[in-house]
Structure formats: C-alpha cells, structure tokens
A and B are shown apart, each in its own frame.
Chain A
Amino acid sequence: MKLSRIIEELGLQLRTESCDLDCEVRGCYIGDILSDVMANSAEGYIWLTIHVHPNITAVAEFKGLSGVIVVNGRVPEPETLKKAEEHKIPIFTTGLSSYEIAGRLYLMGLKRAAK
C-alpha cells in the first residue's frame, strides 16, 4: 500500500520535508520500547509511537521503516525532525491514538508482510 494513500485517508500531518511519499508500506508496528521495535518491526513497516525524541529517527533508519507516526497529538522535537530530514525519513503527527490508526490501517487492508 502506498504511503501517500495512507496519509490521505488518515489525514496525517507531514512534519518533514523532502521525503519519499510514494514508497510502499509493507506493514505496521506499534511500540514505545525502542529495542522491541528494533527486534520486531521490519523493513517497509510504518511505526506508531508516542516518542518525540531524536532516537526514533535512528530506529527508523536502522530498520528501513517507511515512516513514523507520532500519535496522541504529541509534537516531535525540532532535533528529531532535523535528523529525520537528513535521513529522509517521513515523520507524521496525528491526534489519534495508536489503536485508532492501526485499526484504520487494518480496515484499509494493510496486512502484515512477511518479515
């Protein structure tokens, strides 16, 4: 499923510039424990988290994630966005919770690709 379609249907706010929004989202992972996301997400997944600090960019970079959605109306730190732009990782914000976002993604037909 194209990232651009997800952005549109969920009304996500894009917080970073010059990122590839045409990429393929291959699955989704919810997690606020960084080592858990490291262990259990996979390439091309979109990640839902409450964290706003710069290390979320590092996790996304190392796992090859397709993007990060910061949920619950939380606001990413400026340093986080700067780093994300350097690594071309799209960061989004939403007022919805992880549950609501994940539920909608599931209904849109985003299932889990093999790891």
Chain B
Amino acid sequence: MKDKIVLSQGFEIQGADFVRGGEASCQIVEALRDLAFPPEIVRRAGIASYEMEMNMVLYADHGMLSLTVTPDAIMIFADDQGQGIPDIELAMQNGYSTATQEIREMGFGAGMGLSNIKKNSDKMQITSTVGEGTKVHIVIEANGARSNS
C-alpha cells in the first residue's frame, strides 16, 4: 500500500502573472489542511510550494505546479518551460539572484527562495536545461502524521 495515492492535483502557472501568483499554493495548503496534516507540516509545504510557484512566475514562461500525497509523503513538483538555470549550484546559494530591479521593488529577488525550499523539505531535487525549462521536486515526509489516516 506504500505507493497508494491519496490525492493528486495540478495547477497551471503563467509566467509574470503576479496577481494570481501564489493562488495555486494556497489551494495546495487548503487541500493538505483538509487531509488533516499537522499545521507544522502544512506550513512547511506552503512555504516551499509558494517559493516554487513564484520562481515560475518570475523566471519561466509557464509551468505546472503539482501536488501528490501518499500515505507516507507530500510531494510537490514544479515543472516549467522557460529560460532554465545555467548553474544550479550557484542558484542554490543563499543571496544569489538574477532578479531585475523591477522584481526587486516588489520584494522578490533576495536569492532566498531556493534556500527556503530546501530548508522546508526533506528531499529536494532540481534539474534544468538552459532554454528549455526547470524541474524542482520536493518531498516532505509525513509518515503517519495525518490525524485521520
């Protein structure tokens, strides 16, 4: 039963859509609350998901944010078509950002997003092809954490 999927949802993300940016993650948080995950786990998932979603809004043309919940884990997958990341190790460094002045004025571009994702997940994987797109996959372990499972 380990791989049984409890819930699977996908949300389309549009690049540069700052008004709707964040809404998919809000829905993910609501779904996890409905599944009775403890608040601390929901909070970690929400922060990671939001940073993943906003990176697609900021740096990609469009993409998909998906949530898969199994009895053991919460998995969030961001898969975008866009410019890609030339040097992932550099991008992961806290403080590194290629954000434009305009984006920084909105409060983004501190170069903390990927670090926040890492800090709030148990596993994180990034792959990227320049000129094609980026995939970020995280896992938050939730073994037996649901109060109604």
Pick from B25, B43, B116: contact of A58, CB below 8 A.
B25
Interface range on chain B (Cβ under 8 Å from partner): 20 to 34
**CB-based A-B contact count at 8 angstroms:** 66
Scan B38-74; emit 1 where CB is below 8 A from any A CB, else 0: 0100010011001100100000000000000000000
Contact partners of B107 in chain A: CB under 8 A: 32-34, 49, 51, 55
The B15-36 residues at the A interface (CB cut-off 8 A) are 18-19, 21-23, 25-26, 29
Nearest-Cβ distance from residue B121 to partner chain A, whole angstroms: 14
Query: Are A62's CB and B39's CB within 8 A?
Result: no
Query: Are A55 and B22 CB-contacts (below 8 A) given A34-B107, A36-B110, A62-B29?
Result: yes
Nearest-Cβ distance from residue B15 to partner chain A, whole angstroms: 15
The A34-81 residues at the B interface (CB cut-off 8 A) are 34-36, 38-39, 43, 49, 51, 53-55, 57-59, 61-64, 79
Query: Are B113's CB and A61's CB within 8 A?
Result: no
Given contacts A32-B107, A62-B46, 6 further A-B contacts (CB under 8 A): A35-B112, A39-B112, A43-B43, A54-B18, A54-B19, A55-B18
